[in-house]
Structure 1
């Protein structure tokens, strides 16, 4: 089958990595420890592999109560959903989780989606239209860009975390249409927070809406764990919150929190909601159990996460390892060339450390990097190991 030059280049890169025995993607986990900080992989053979590629930020994935929540949901409702939710129905567990999510974020209503990606696509493709303008950060998650483009709206990109550039674009986009600014609360490519104080000032000044994707920050940041907007003190100035249960809440599924009118509109018109099944009962049961843990232990787990993340950032810097502008629990090490990044990631897992290599188009061309997700389950010894192995790998694979 023939492909475009761009797609052929992807296959060429994969083939080159495989021939050089440095293919770094899709590690197969054959056994997990009590948390996702420890696994065994099919190719490494080493036990344990210390995982800094996880998004289990609060260390909940191995808790027996979370597993029991999933098992009880399957026992009560079976393994799958009941067809399209609008006609096949959804369970009382789904209804309960919507209420829990809305209360957690202090919003009138919430709606569940099968994934966080579909939540972003659903809200933007519904909220915006051809007369509207959607303004996105250059490092926003791809699902935000997809949703904006599917809406048919004019899509403008502002420089990463540059409120001045955003202000310039807002001044030039007056007219009858709606303007919507969409950002990640915590950017997964660099680990930095959105400039939400400045952004919400601009959206208020220009009469624009603001949507914040709290995928990597929900549960992990903020006084009550309500995300980056909560952490920065502007939660009440955000119009729509989207997110996922697949990170700190260790399950799967997405959500949207907003006023009741918008949630009702999404429930009855968003294709990303209506044309697919809802999250399976097991995922909903696990998520409800994870929220129960957050109510009891969230403060302590967030404090432990913040301490460990700060230690990792400081230790990497002291070891001469350059890191991006992270101020939270996602820490990235810029590498640059894709082949060097692949070799380093492969070397690390062979020595017992799993990190997440990021390549274009997830990051800009020439901006390949290693992403480390810190969890509350990581120990000081895990940080020591990560710093030592990363510093050694960078020295062994010079630029």
Structure 2
């Protein structure tokens, strides 16, 4: 099969990394410990006969609150599977909507402080469903440049006009809102932002953005994928942390991070949820979540009702400690402000080399490459966990500082495109 230049470049890059032994993606997990902060992976060197795995400390996970191996969460998944089986065997509209799904929707709505909630197969599909349903060809969507790729995909599906404003720049957003024309002549307006940006680790200025949404009669949609459960007094996300949760029209999120399961959700007014339930293709044309994942998410919400405050405190303490240790070792963390800690590296080759070197030394991190980040802006993303110990954090900071010091920046182009976006 013939490919275009971009696809050929990606295939060439993957082939070269594999030949050089620096391929950094798809680490094979062979076993799990009592916490997702530590797992087993095969020996990193090609040709090794080690099939049992060896301990690795994980700073590339999104199990922020350390619930993925919590006994109640595991039992919640098992009990739900025993009760309803492994799948829903139909779309939710015609036979895949169980009492568990209904209970989780109610629990998520209660947790979020919103009137209603809706479950999607993934967080990505939640964003696709919201944007492709609430926006149309006459409408205008205003999105931060560094939003998750699923937001851009949803706008494209909607046919709305997309206006991209500079990252965390309310003044530029205000300018775009003014030039788009009066709302009564230019259709509906939506402002869509990540609460906590997954590739930069910084928070959106939601108070200023909420002011602009009200001033320009725009709906405000906030993707809380990385902040739901982890930020705010009740763990309701960045909007709660910024004091504007009641000013956000639609909240999207995922169970795959703090809630130790999988699937997406939308929280909004009852009419919005009813419209999505009966109109969003990303919801109607997909099977419902497997009962086991629903049971796990329900159990996670129950655990967090008791332990959430303490787990969030440990998470943010660990994030501050990690940033402090990295800074003391001369490693920058850009604008990282929470538990997503970003380390700029530069070229794709250097980032791949550092990632592979760290894996061989027993530390798993997440590399980010273009187009998830700008060309020349490849980086490491560290996901801090409430279960990390001070020893884990000190060990990680020392290994990262050493790997960066030992790996000279590579000259030349930034390379191909091994990934399409971040999760």
**TM-score in terms of structure 2 length:** 0.93
Shift of 1:47: 2.8
- Structure 2 counterpart of 1:356: 366
CA distance in 2, matches of 1:35, 1:147: 34
Shift of 1:398: 1.6
The 5-angstrom pairing of residues 119-134 of structure 1 reads 119-134=126-141
- Structure 2 counterpart of 1:192: 202
- Consecutive unaligned residues of structure 2, counting only runs of 5 or more, are 45-49, 410-423
CA distance in 1, matches of 2:96, 2:39: 37
CA distance in 1, matches of 2:294, 2:388: 26
- Is 1:274 equivalent to 2:281 in the alignment? no
- Structure 2 counterpart of 1:17: 17
Contact in 1 for aligned 2:140/2:186 (Cα 8 Å): no
- Consecutive unaligned residues of structure 1, counting only runs of 5 or more, are none
CA distance in 2, matches of 1:324, 1:28: 29
Deviations 1:251-271 (A, max 9, x none): 000000011111001100100
Contact in 2 for aligned 1:220/1:302 (Cα 8 Å): yes
- Structure 2 counterpart of 1:298: 308
Contact in 1 for aligned 2:366/2:380 (Cα 8 Å): yes
Shift of 1:82: 2.8
- Is 1:75 equivalent to 2:82 in the alignment? yes
Shift of 1:304: 0.5
After the TM superposition, which parts of structure 1 deviate over 4 Å for at least 4 consecutive aligned residues? Answer: none
The 5-angstrom pairing of residues 101-140 of structure 1 reads 101-140=108-147
Shift of 1:364: 1.0
Shift of 1:42: 2.1
The 5-angstrom pairing of residues 256-271 of structure 1 reads 256-271=266-281
Deviations 1:112-171 (A, max 9, x none): 000000000000000000000111111100101100110000011111101111011000
Deviations 1:181-232 (A, max 9, x none): 1011000101000110110011111111110000000000000000000011
Contact in 2 for aligned 1:28/1:43 (Cα 8 Å): no
- Is 1:289 equivalent to 2:299 in the alignment? yes
CA distance in 2, matches of 1:10, 1:350: 24
Contact in 1 for aligned 2:180/2:186 (Cα 8 Å): no
Shift of 1:383: 0.6
Contact in 2 for aligned 1:115/1:244 (Cα 8 Å): yes
Corresponding residue to 1:92 among 81, 93, 99: 99
**TM-score in terms of structure 1 length:** 0.99
CA distance in 2, matches of 1:361, 1:121: 19
Deviations 1:274-320 (A, max 9, x none): 00101100000000000000000000000000100000011101110
- Is 1:146 equivalent to 2:153 in the alignment? yes
- Is 1:322 equivalent to 2:338 in the alignment? no
RMSD: 0.8
CA distance in 1, matches of 2:371, 2:179: 28
Contact in 1 for aligned 2:311/2:386 (Cα 8 Å): yes
Shift of 1:3: 1.1
Secondary structure, aligned partner of 2:186: coil
- Is 1:177 equivalent to 2:187 in the alignment? yes
Contact in 1 for aligned 2:193/2:223 (Cα 8 Å): yes
- Is 1:156 equivalent to 2:166 in the alignment? no
Contact in 1 for aligned 2:322/2:393 (Cα 8 Å): yes
CA distance in 2, matches of 1:10, 1:155: 28
Corresponding residue to 1:51 among 58, 61, 67: 58
**Residue-pair matches, total:** 399
Secondary structure, aligned partner of 1:48: strand
- Structure 1 counterpart of 2:211: 201
CA distance in 2, matches of 1:3, 1:138: 28
Contact in 1 for aligned 2:57/2:392 (Cα 8 Å): yes
Secondary structure, aligned partner of 1:243: strand
